[in-house]
Each structure stands twice: as structure tokens, then as C-alpha cells.
Amino acid sequence: MTEPSLRERALRHLARRDYSRAELVKKLAPYGTTEEIDAVLERMSELSLQSDTRFAAAWVRSHAARFGRRRLQNELARRGVDHDLIEETLADDALDDERGRARALWQAKFGLPPADAREWARQARFLQARGFAMDIIHRLLKEAPGESA
């Protein structure tokens, strides 16, 4: 049985899910030279089989309910997406209600307002680790449980 070509390897990866160009470069690196990989990925882009724009939009759609803007930015940057493309993707209307997303996540995890400073800090750390800004966290943890924005 023959070894699959770079093109076949790239297609197999892309058949499972979208990948950023940088992720595919890492996956294909052991099997070819930089020039060969760039040529294959350039052809994949020409055929619209690989698109960082599509990857970023899909990734944000699938993770926006669980993460804040900062975490989404960091994760996309870690996956090799260009900074300008990240900003363009995150400017989408779906992310407008970050406070609402933080509230929904907080409600699912805790449901009750913090009883003391230690519990407040625990809930704040949870939301901060999910990438929500501190001003949103402060407002959320200070408001009454049934109160909405």
C-alpha cells in the first residue's frame, strides 16, 4: 500500500472539520517540505476547501456560548488565525450580548448569587477563565438573581 500524498492527507483532515491554515501546516509538516505544503494549501484555498475566514466563523459560532470575547480571541490566535481576521469575525452581531452570554453561563453553573467574598471570588474566577471582562463580571455578580440587563 502506498503512502498518501500531501493533498490526500490535507483532504482527509478537511473532510472531518475545518482547520486553519496554520493547523494544517503543523499536521502536514512531517510529510513534506515547506514549499510542498504551501503549494498544496494554496491549491486548497483556491478551491475553497480551506478558508481561515470560514474556520474562524465556525469556531466562534460553536464556542461563543461558553466563552467570552478575550478567550475567543486567544484561542483563535493560538490556532494561527490572523489578528485582523479575528477582529473581523468577533465584530459579528452574534457576539453583541456578551453580558447575556456570561449571565447564561453563570446561571447554568451557579444559579445563586455569591453568599460571601470567597464564593464571589470563585464565581468571578470561573467567568474570568472563560474570557469575560471584569466589568461584566462585576455587574453580573452585583445584580439580583432575577434581574436582567
pLDDT tens digit sequence for 60-74: 999 998 999 999 999
* Average pLDDT over all residues of the chain: 90
Question: What is the 3-state secondary structure of 50-72?
Answer: CCHHHHHHHHHHHHCCCCCHHHH
pLDDT of the residue at 42: 95
**What's the pLDDT at 143?**
77
Q: What's the pLDDT at 12? A: 94
Instruction: Please determine, for residue 94, whether its predicted confidence score (pLDDT) is greater than 60.
Output: no
| pLDDT tier, 149 (very low <50, low <70, confident <90, very high otherwise) | very low
pLDDT tens, residue by residue, 21-74: 999 999 999 999 999 999 999 999 999 999 999 999 999 999 998 999 999 999
Give Cα separations from 23 to 17, 96, 118, 125, 127 (angstroms): 12, 28, 40, 30, 28
pLDDT at 1: 63
- C-alpha 125/C-alpha 134 separation (Å) is 10
**What pLDDT is attached to residue 55?**
96
Q: Taking residues 97-119, what's their average pLDDT?
A: 92
